[in-house]
Amino acid sequence: GDSVTQMEGPVTLSEEAFLTINCTYTATGYPSLFWYVQYPGEGLQLLLKATKADDKGSNKGFEATYRKETTSFHLEKGSVQVSDSAVYFCALSDRTGGFKTIFGAGTRLFVKA
């Protein structure tokens, strides 16, 4: 079945550091890919998405590119802020899975001032 694997956390960075959170997926079809963010005490909210190969999703300085050849959708940000501290989830939604959204385990990010 479909699955999402993302790097384990926690990831601890200093403010203004470069962020990469790796995400790879397994799907039999051509899924849409998502990054969701969960701030403390809140539900998940969409950060960015990409619906086809080579698409780049971007929002709030975060970017991720849909790489079909490597089945990856890594999240990057050039300069993180303390306010970016949160849990980040990679997810996919695929026709083969009935378009259910499947989530990775989440990666907790701590940014120090």
Write out the residues near other proteins by the rule CB under 8 A.
31-32, 34, 36, 41-46, 49, 51, 89, 91, 93, 95, 98-106
* Sign of CA pseudo-dihedral 41, 66, 74, 19: negative
Neighbour count for residue 100 (Cβ, 10 Å) = 9
Q: How far is the CB of 25 from other proteins (least distance, A)?
A: 13
Side-chain half-sphere of 52: how many Cα atoms within 13 Å?
A: 0
Q: How far is the CB of 113 from other proteins (least distance, A)?
A: 25
Give the nearer residue to other proteins in terms of CB position, either 43 or 113: 43
Q: How far is the CB of 84 from other proteins (least distance, A)?
A: 19
Q: How far is CA 104 from each of CA 15, 23, 60, 82, 89, rounded to the nearest angstrom?
A: 25, 8, 21, 23, 6
Give the nearer residue to other proteins in terms of CB position, either 49 or 77: 49
Give the nearer residue to other proteins in terms of CB position, either 67 or 108: 108
Give the nearer residue to other proteins in terms of CB position, either 7 or 17: 7
Distance CA 57, CA 66 (A): 8
Q: How far is the CB of 85 from other proteins (least distance, A)?
A: 17
Distance CA 85, CA 98 (A): 33
